[in-house]
């Protein structure tokens, strides 16, 4: 039962308040994109064991989508941040590197 | 024969009696007894039968680890199987029956299994019931099902009459276990100002210390415990819960505790169980240790008990297991039992100690009491069929040649203690092997970690491996110091000194005697409940089951309701020995919650019956109820399925509602349809992305039907969009789709197009919406008066208007899901009921008829309108449904457009929507497949289509259906064969013939709705 702190309302929300939304920071490919790009966008996920960026919605709370950096093996949470970002903010990256010096960045 | 002694028993109140029955026999005990102690006091030695061999079994333990004394408790609706007698507090009127026996507990037919035990080895089922294949279903499985299982499931005709509830709490520290370690931890945490929840699974504080004669600060442990409880109860930041077991530790400090609120004193109005759902900063596991049995031949016979349990029954309940008790051990602790027995005035013929010598303070005390101590000795066998009558001794170092017989009624065995590491391990805490104590203990370097990556469980006292009373307090103080530091508090420490006689190290003894042959090993029980013996684990190892997890499943070791509390370490020591590997290399099986079984009622809590889930009612719900509506659940809503008149069949009611609507006027409560506002300067742009068709060109005052697809192209919802003004759209969704579609919109707005100036609001419940449908609809509405011009010229099909209808504030939408002249009128929810009444009054002269969801479905099918969830199932795209007209060719992009260009989506072989008409007028079975020539790889007929909707149409007087068919639209007039689910008596497929037709069965030109 995870707890993630919603960056909008500041509440340490229990998993029952949240709905998951899969991997974060995907680039949308629409009409005109190649079959490979579209397939990768829609279906292909690295499914990492370790540091993972993911989407969550505070569905039973303020209703906002936010992003979290979390270790999928230990469930450690490195930080949460607003959904309106195209890549992980610097402070989140720093927090991850402090805990996981060997981390090589997003696949 | 076990009996109640003349005095002793610190937990029982001898001044009063409590009556209970066991297998119909009337017994009595005292308040404070457990069912187990009371059964022993009444001389009831056999309490159950084992699972596989139906061997007679007696009580082994005195606590939650009991494997044998499982009983059925209660009767009728309150019947509950597999309750442990050792943890069941006695109350007046308790009824218990034993399990797993036939015809009686004393004489059991299945006992014959024991005689053929060598034909029922580990993996017996896997090996035996493989061939011939067909035998499994018809011979083996019915037989096994009949003889398998512990206890009887409650009668499904009864519903549980008891109440259960759940509590939510947030604390700094949960202390699991109210022994002296737990009490000390709670004291220090409480004094440090932390918010503490202290849970103890029994009704008593202090754990084993009073029984074991521990002294704390020079006083009897009992006195210190009483003071500690007084101090804790006075602290506002500490909460004490007896009868509450910490059942599981989960991610990020989530903890479940299970409180047995009134099991010990059943009464109405009080919940039976309570599930505590806890978020905590730290967990202190002070849940003690569990004594291990010794593996000697016949160790499962009634009368063979754990040494600590014998001591408990003597000291706590004043019950002896027999006049003569042989103690068999590999450690000093069991000498306490011998001493306690002798002090109670009973006989210990000898202490059988497998170690070469025993000279610690406890053995010396035993010798001083005149108890013979036989070192280097083992038990070779146990005599007696329905209980111990004697034990045979032999040399531990040898193969089991009997040196002497010792007459006795009971055997108290101790193979040492294993720390209860369950709570440490539930969430990933790792263990380390303690060579000296021969047990696994928590590895403090590898704790379970929380969201910050920090450890959040610490073990205190025996749970941490501090088995000797002298170590417990210091250990607990260190543990609580760690836990408090993690939650930003500090302890002053300074724990009291607990003292007890020193103990010499134990000698690991996994088989007794060490050279025992196969005959003996086949009588040494590891898992009493599942009948797993030393020989079974050895056989599994020989057959290649080297992983402890595989061995567990192959032999069923530790898979019973006690989850291997007694058998775990002994079993894996045997496995390690057979594999010739060190024990830590073999490892343990995974500890999973709950610690002991918890009731399904507690898990459900109050969420049952009418409050199983929130019920959504429309503003008109009360009227429908008065009209005798038959309800249909749609999501969390309840919608009227139809409104049968007294004595009217459902189908007749539906047909009457359709006919009345098509010929005059009907009323539908459409309030549940989703209503989502999309507003802002970029609303049109956003709508064009959401819907497949062009929405931005819709004029204010007009409506348009639209389709919504997911990003991978599949149709997910449909509905009519009304443009309220330049910036505002009102999206109608399906009843079940409102929340999902609103979330879908927010997802895209917040996560992809966050710079677009658009807001959404789900206003579904703000409005009561009523569809007034049928040729007389306009007459009825017009008779209400008001300022809205309802004429075809002013308010044509697919237009909407706002104003007054009579005294009601109304939005009137000229939209139709029935093909009739139809006005959907939305009024504020608060006016809904009055508006419905006004319509019913206004329509009286026209025979106005409320209709339900079934009539709605039939009428939409007569018109060939699709229904989300019928024609769609998450694999259907709009193009499959002939909805090309609702897919914009002009737009560069919409959600799902790119996916619909993928090769599989444009495949001409995709099944397409058509209408279906049976040749004989019957109604096609729902979901039926159209069969094609040939068979697939599984010997099933090939298919070429399936039915998606099927109804009897009263309008047309025959069955109508829609379906998806290969090349369907090009095959008009062709006749297909559809499979019926029921086969004919010879097992052949039965089919019904249907012709492919247009899906629009009624008024294809739309003349009726456009008037």
* pLDDT higher than threshold 70 for residue B800: yes
pLDDT tens digits, residue range B626-661?
A: 999 999 999 899 999 999 999 999 999 999 999 999
Residue B127: pLDDT over 90: no
Q: Above 70 in pLDDT, residue A94?
A: yes
In the DSSP assignment, the letter for residue B126 is: H
Q: What is the DSSP letter of B906?
A: T
pLDDT band with cut points at 50, 70 and 90 for residue B147: low
Segment B428-455, tens digit of pLDDT: 999 999 999 999 999 999 999 999 999 9
In this prediction, residue B124 carries a pLDDT of 65
Long-range Cβ pairs for the range B365-373 (8 Å, 24+): B365/B335, B365/B339, B365/B501, B366/B335, B366/B338, B366/B339, B366/B342, B369/B338, B369/B339, B369/B342, B369/B343, B370/B342, B371/B338, B371/B339, B371/B342
Residue B811, pLDDT > 70, answer yes
Q: Which residues of chain B does A63 touch, with a Cβ-Cβ cutoff of 8 Å?
A: 746
Residue B185 in contact with residue B479, Cβ under 8 Å?
Answer: yes
Residue B133 clears pLDDT 80, i.e. is over it: no
Q: What is the pLDDT of residue B559?
A: 87
Chain B interface test: which of A18, A39, A76 (most B C-beta within 10 Å): A76
Q: How confident is the model at residue B613 (pLDDT cuts 50, 70, 90)?
A: confident
Run of H or E residues at B365: helix B361-368
| Nearest-Cα residue of chain A relative to residue B898 | A31
Q: What is the pLDDT of residue B987?
A: 78
- Name chain A contacts of B747, Cβ cutoff 8 Å: 21, 57, 65
Q: Closest chain A residue to B448 measured between Cα atoms?
A: A74
CA-based radius of gyration for chain B: 37
Structure tokens at B163: 């109440």
Token readout for B223 is 């006195």
3-state secondary structure labels for all residues of B566-609:
CCHHHHHHHHHHHHCCCHHHHCCCCCCCCCCCCCHHHHHCCCCH
CA dihedral of residues B907, B911, B914, B919 (deg, nearest 10) = 140
Q: Per-residue pLDDT tens for B451-506?
A: 999 999 999 999 999 999 999 999 999 999 999 999 999 998 899 999 999 999 99
What pLDDT was estimated at residue B111? 62
Distance between first and last Cα of chain A: 27
Length of chain A: 107
Q: How far apart are CA B474 and CA B495, in angstroms?
A: 6
Percent of chain B with pLDDT over 70: 95
pLDDT, tens digit, 9 for 90 and up, residues B181-236: 999 999 999 999 999 999 999 999 999 999 999 999 999 999 999 999 999 999 99
Q: 3-state class of B419 per DSSP? A: strand
Per-residue model confidence (pLDDT) at position B112: 58
Query: Looking up tokens 């079993």, which residue turns up?
Result: B571
C-beta of residue B536 within 8 angstroms of C-beta of residue B523: no
CB contacts of A77 in chain B (<8 Å) are: 451-452
CB B815 within 8 A of CB B718: no
According to the model, what pLDDT value does residue B136 have?
65
Element (H, E) at B363: helix B361-368
Beta strands in B908-967, from DSSP E residues, in sequence order: 911-918, 929-935, 941-953, 958-966
- Asked if B252 lies within 8 A of A3 by C-beta distance, the reply is yes
Mutation target among A35, A41, A42 for the B interface, most CBs of B within 10 A: A42
User: CA distances (Å), B263 to each of A100, B48, B270, in order?
Assistant: 50, 22, 10
Residues of A in contact with B253 (CB under 8 A): 3
Contacts of B892 in chain A (CB under 8 A): 31
Nearest CA in chain A to B447: A74
Task: Determine the Cα–Cα distance for residues B327 and B336; give it in Å rounded to an integer.
Answer: 10
Q: Are B350 and B373 in contact (CB under 8 A)?
A: yes
- B511-562: per-residue pLDDT in tens? 999 999 999 999 999 999 888 999 999 999 999 998 899 999 899 898 888 8
ipTM over 0.95: yes
Query: Residue B176 pairs with which residues in a beta bridge?
Result: B199, B285
Scanning B598-682, the segments in alpha helix (DSSP H) are: 600-604, 621-626, 650-663
Distance (Å, rounded) from C-alpha B967 to C-alpha B975?
Answer: 13
Whether residue A59 and residue B250 make contact (CB cut-off 8 A), yes or no, is: no
CA–CA min distance A90, chain B (Å) = 19
Of B449, B711, B751, the CB nearest to A76: B449
Residue A31 has its nearest CB partner, among B450, B754, B901, at B901
Residues in chain B: 1011
- The set of residues, in sequence order, having a beta carbon less than 8 Å from that of A71 and lying 6+ positions away, is A50, A51, A52, A77, A78, A100, B453
How many CB atoms are closer than 10 A to CB B848?
A: 22
Interface touch A1/B711, C-beta < 8 Å: no
Answer yes or no: is pLDDT of B107 > 80.
no
Q: Which tokens is B34 given?
A: 């457990």
Q: Mean pLDDT, to the nearest integer, of B310-325?
A: 97
Confidence bin at B141 (pLDDT 50/70/90): low
Average pLDDT over residues B135-150: 63
Is there a contact between B925 and B1000 (Cβ–Cβ < 8 Å)? no
Judge whether residue B104 has pLDDT over 90. Answer: no
CA distance A103 to A93: 10
Is residue B229 helix, strand or coil?
A: helix
What local confidence, expressed as pLDDT, does residue B493 receive?
87
Identify the pLDDT of residue B457: 98
B853-873 pLDDT tens trace: 999 999 999 999 999 999 999
B594 prior amide bond cis, ω within 30: yes
* pLDDT given at position B5: 96
Residue B285 CB coordination number (10 Å):
32
The whole-angstrom separation of Cα B640 and Cα B853 is 6
C-alpha distances (whole Å) from A47 to each of A43, A50, A102, B417 are 11, 9, 18, 43
Q: What is the pTM of this model?
A: 0.91
Beta strands in B739-784 (DSSP E): 759-762, 767-773
Give the rounded percent of residues in chain B with a pLDDT score beyond 90.
86
Quickly state the pLDDT bin for B149 (edges 50, 70, 90).
Answer: low
In this structure, the number of other CB atoms found within 10 A of the CB of residue B612 comes to 10
- Assess whether pLDDT exceeds 70 at residue B148: no
Based on C-alpha coordinates, what's the Rg of chain A? 14
Mean residue pLDDT across chain B = 94
* B614, B638 contact by CB (below 8 A): no
- B420 SS3 class: coil
Say if the Cβ atoms of B752 and A64 lie within 8 Å. Answer: no
Measure the CA–CA gap between B528 and B512, rounded to whole angstroms. Answer: 17
- CB distance B279–A3 less than 8 Å? yes
Plot region of B5 (φ>0 → left; ψ -120 to 50 → alpha; else → beta): beta
Q: Do B751 and A1 touch (CB under 8 A)?
A: no
Mean pLDDT of chain A: 96
pLDDT band of A70, cuts 50, 70, 90: very high
Whether residue A84 and residue B893 make contact (CB cut-off 8 A), yes or no, is: no
Fold designation for A3-99: Folate-binding fold (3.30.2270)
Give whole-number Cα distances, B344 to B4, B321, B348, in Å: 11, 12, 11
The ranges assigned to domains in chain A are 3-99
Buried b (16+ CB within 10 A) or exposed e, B502-526: ebeebbbbbbbbbebeeebbbbbbb
Q: Which of B923, B940, B996, B935 is nearest to B965 (CA)?
A: B996
Q: Which of A6, A8, A23, A38 to mutate to test the interface with B (most CBs of B within 10 A)?
A: A38
Compute the nearest-CA separation of B865 from chain A (Å): 29
Q: Do B449 and A14 touch (CB under 8 A)?
A: no
Cα–Cα distance measured from residue B931 to residue B977, given in angstroms and rounded to the nearest whole number: 6
What is the C-alpha to C-alpha distance for residues B289 and B295, in angstroms, rounded to an integer? 19
Query: Cβ–Cβ contacts within 10 Å for residue B991, how many?
Result: 16
Range B786-799 average pLDDT: 96
């Amino acid at each position: 039962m995870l707890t993630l702190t919603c960056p909008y309302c500041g509440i340490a929300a229990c998993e029952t308040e949240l709905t998951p939304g899969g991997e974060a920071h995907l680039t949308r490919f629409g009409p005109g994109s190649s079959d490979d790009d579209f397939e990768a966008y829609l279906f292909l996920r690295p499914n990492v064991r370790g540091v993972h960026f993911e989407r969550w919605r505070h569905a039973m709370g303020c209703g906002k989508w936010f992003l979290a950096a979390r270790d999928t093996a230990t469930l450690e949470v490195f930080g949460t941040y607003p959904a309106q970002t195209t890549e992980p903010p610097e402070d989140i990256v720093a927090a991850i590197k402090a805990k996981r010096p060997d981390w090589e960045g997003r696949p | 024969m076990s009996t109640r002694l003349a005095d002793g028993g610190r937990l029982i109140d001898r001044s009063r009696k409590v009556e209970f029955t066991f297998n119909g026999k009337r017994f009595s005990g005292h308040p404070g007894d457990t069912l187990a102690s009371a059964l022993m006091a009444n001389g009831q030695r056999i309490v159950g039968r084992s699972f596989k061999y139906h061997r007679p079994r007696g009580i082994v333990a005195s606590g939650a680890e009991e494997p044998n004394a499982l009983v059925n408790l209660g009767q009728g609706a309150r019947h509950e199987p597999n309750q442990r007698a050792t943890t069941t507090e006695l109350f007046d009127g308790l009824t218990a029956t034993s399990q797993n026996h036939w015809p009686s507990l004393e004489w059991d037919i299945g006992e014959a299994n024991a005689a053929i035990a060598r034909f029922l080895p580990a993996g017996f089922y896997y090996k035996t019931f493989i061939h011939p294949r067909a035998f499994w279903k018809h011979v083996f499985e019915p037989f096994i099902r009949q003889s398998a299982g512990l206890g009887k499931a409650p009668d499904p005709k009864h519903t549980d009459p008891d109440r259960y509830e759940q509590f939510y709490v947030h604390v700094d520290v949960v202390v699991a276990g109210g022994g002296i370690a737990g009490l000390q931890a709670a004291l220090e945490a409480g004094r440090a100002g932390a918010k503490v929840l202290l849970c103890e699974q029994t009704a008593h504080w202090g754990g084993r210390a009073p029984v074991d004669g521990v002294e704390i600060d020079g006083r009897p442990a009992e006195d210190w415990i009483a003071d500690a409880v007084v101090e804790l109860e006075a602290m506002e930041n500490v909460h004490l819960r007896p009868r509450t077991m910490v059942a599981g530790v989960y991610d990020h400090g989530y903890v479940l505790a299970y409180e047995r609120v009134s099991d010990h004193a059943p009464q109405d109005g009080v919940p039976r169980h309570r599930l505590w759902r806890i978020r905590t900063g730290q967990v202190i596991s002070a849940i003690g240790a569990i004594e291990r049995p010794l593996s000697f031949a016949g160790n499962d016979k009634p009368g063979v008990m754990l040494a600590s349990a014998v001591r408990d029954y003597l000291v706590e309940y004043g019950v002896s297991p027999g006049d003569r008790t042989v103690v068999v051990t590999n450690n000093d602790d069991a000498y306490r039992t011998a001493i306690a027995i002798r002090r109670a005035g009973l006989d210990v013929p000898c202490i059988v100690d497998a170690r070469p010598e025993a000279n610690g303070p406890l053995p010396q005390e035993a010798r001083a009491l005149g108890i013979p101590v036989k070192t280097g000795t083992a038990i070779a066998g146990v005599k007696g069929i329905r209980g111990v009558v004697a034990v045979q001794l032999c040399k531990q170092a040898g193969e089991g040649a009997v040196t002497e017989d010792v007459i006795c009624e009971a055997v108290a065995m101790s193979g040492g203690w294993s720390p209860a590491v369950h709570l440490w391990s539930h969430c990933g805490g790792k263990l380390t092997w303690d060579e000296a104590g021969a047990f696994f203990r928590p590895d403090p370097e590898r704790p379970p970690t929380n969201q910050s990556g920090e450890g959040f469980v610490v073990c205190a006292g025996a749970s941490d491996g501090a088995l000797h009373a002298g170590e417990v307090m210091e250990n607990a103080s260190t543990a609580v110091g760690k836990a408090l530091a993690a939650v930003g508090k500090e302890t002053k420490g300074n724990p009291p000194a607990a003292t007890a006689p020193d103990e010499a190290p134990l000698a690991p003894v996994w088989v007794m005697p060490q050279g025992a042959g196969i005959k003996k090993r086949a009588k040494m029980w590891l898992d009493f409940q599942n009948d797993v013996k030393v020989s079974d684990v050895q056989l599994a190892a020989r057959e290649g089951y080297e992983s402890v997890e595989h061995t567990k499943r192959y032999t069923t070791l530790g898979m019973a309701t006690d989850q291997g509390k007694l058998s775990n370490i002994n079993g894996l020591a045997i496995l390690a020995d057979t594999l010739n590997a060190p024990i830590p290399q073999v490892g343990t099986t995974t500890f999973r919650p709950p610690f002991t079984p918890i009731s399904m009622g507690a898990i459900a809590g109050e969420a049952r019956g009418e409050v199983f889930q929130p019920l959504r009612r429309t503003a008109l719900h009360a009227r429908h109820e008065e009209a005798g509506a038959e309800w249909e659940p749609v999501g969390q809503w309840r919608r009227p399925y139809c409104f049968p008149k007294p004595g009217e069949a459902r189908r007749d009611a539906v047909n009457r509602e359709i006919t009345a609507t098509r010929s005059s006027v009907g009323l539908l409560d459409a309030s549940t349809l989703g209503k989502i506002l999309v507003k802002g300067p970029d609303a049109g742009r956003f709508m064009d992305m959401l819907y497949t068709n062009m929405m931005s060109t819709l004029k204010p005052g007009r409506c348009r039907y639209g389709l919504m697809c997911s990003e991978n192209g599949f149709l997910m919802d449909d509905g009519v969009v009304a443009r309220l003004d330049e910036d505002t759209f009102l999206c109608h969704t399906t009843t079940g789709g409102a929340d999902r579609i609103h979330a879908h919109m927010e997802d895209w707005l917040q996560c992809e197009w966050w710079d677009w100036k658009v807001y959404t609001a789900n206003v579904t419940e703000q409005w009561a919406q009523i569809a007034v449908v049928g040729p007389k609809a306009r007459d009825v509405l017009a008779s209400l008066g008001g300022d809205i011009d309802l004429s075809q010229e002013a308010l044509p099909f697919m237009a909407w208007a706002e104003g007054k209808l009579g005294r009601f504030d109304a939005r009137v939408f000229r939209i139709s899901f029935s093909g009739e002249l139809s006005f959907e009128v939305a009024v504020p929810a608060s006016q809904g009921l009055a508006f419905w009444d006004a319509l019913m009054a206004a329509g009286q002269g026209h025979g106005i008829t409320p209709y339900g969801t079934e009539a709605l479905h039939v009428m939409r099918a007569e018109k060939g309108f699709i229904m989300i969830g019928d024609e769609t199932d998450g694999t259907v795209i709009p193009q499959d449904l002939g909805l090309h007209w609702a897919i914009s060719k002009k737009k560069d992009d919409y959600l799902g457009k790119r996916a619909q260009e993928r090769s599989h989506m444009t495949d001409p072989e995709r099944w397409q929507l058509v209408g279906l008409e049976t040749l004989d007028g019957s109604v096609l079975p729902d979901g039926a497949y159209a069969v094609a020539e040939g068979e697939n790889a599984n010997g099933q007929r090939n298919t070429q289509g399936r039915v998606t909707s099927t109804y009897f149409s009263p309008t047309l007087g025959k069955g109508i259906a829609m379906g998806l068919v290969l090349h369907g639209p090009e095959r008009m007039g062709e006749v297909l064969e559809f499979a019926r689910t029921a086969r004919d008596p010879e097992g052949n497929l039965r089919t019904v013939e249907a012709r492919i037709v247009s899906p629009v069965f009624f008024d294809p030109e739309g003349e009726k709705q456009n008037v």
